[in-house]
Amino acid sequence: MVFGDSISAGYGLPSETGWVSLLKKRLQTQPSASPAYRVINASISGETTLGGRNRIEQALSTHRPDIVIIELGGNDGLRGASIESIRNNLEAIIQTCRRNKTAVLLTSMRLPPNYGIAYTQKFLGIYPQLANKHRLKLVPYMFEGFGDRPEFFQADGIHPTVQMQEKILDNVWKVLRGMLKPGQKLAL
């Protein structure tokens, strides 16, 4: 289950072109993948870590995933939310997943430099700190390889273009593929 915000919900993209849709297609082409693989996109544009914290229990009980890819925090950072609240909310989501025997893949995001070096560094530190503390797999940066190139973003400067969705998937896949077991029937 992908549990994220507009980056995973496919904001501004034609239907079925976002990285989560591409993940569904990639899993179908993997020789070791079971035909029973399901990818659930429980992402909501505009979602914050608090919103995710409030709805994770319901999402887990509804979909019963084996793996949750958490892609949240960017909206909190863009709104200048406190680092402590972002960390606490993400940690609560992780702990809820763990109580439900669900593996977690945490994805890291970065903020534009205009938020100030102190805030952006503290924000960036949340993800590896939580990954280390809870022994989680971590995607170091979803926009690795293009995040500093404005031409690869939609007019809002926040959401990647359709051409970059495969690159986002590649960044996630590098870590996710190690979490998959050949032939396993898996809800993701």
pLDDT at 35 over 80: no
Report which of 43, 31, 21 is spatially closest to residue 180, judged by C-alpha positions: 31
Q: Which of 6, 21, 43, 108 is catalytic?
A: 6
Confidence class of residue 30 from pLDDT cuts 50, 70 and 90? confident
Q: Please name the amino acid found at residue 135.
A: R
Confidence class of residue 185 from pLDDT cuts 50, 70 and 90? very low
The one-character DSSP state at 55 is H
Q: What is the pLDDT of residues 65-82, one digit of tens each?
A: 999 999 999 999 999 999
Local structure of 106: helix, strand or coil: strand
For residue 6, indicate whether it is catalytic.
Answer: yes
By the 10 Å C-beta count (0-12 exposed, 13-18 middle, 19+ buried), 175 is classed as: middle
Enumerate domains of the chain plus CATH numbers: 2-11+38-179 (3.40.50.1110)
- Greatest extent of the chain over all pairs of C-alpha atoms, in Å: 47
For residue 156, indicate whether it is catalytic.
Answer: yes
Write 150-158 long-range contacts (CB < 8 A, 24+).
154/12, 156/12, 157/112, 158/6, 158/78
For the record, the structure tokens of 57 come out as: 């229990």
Contact 139, 103 (CB under 8 A): no
Contact 37, 188 (CB under 8 A): yes
d(CA 13, CA 153): 11
For residue 159, indicate whether it is catalytic.
Answer: yes
d(CA 169, CA 148): 17
Mean pLDDT, residues 134-140 taken together: 97
Q: Which of 15, 61, 148, 156 is catalytic?
A: 156
Contact 160, 146 (CB under 8 A): yes
pLDDT at 45 over 60: yes
Q: Which of 5, 21, 76, 159 is catalytic?
A: 159
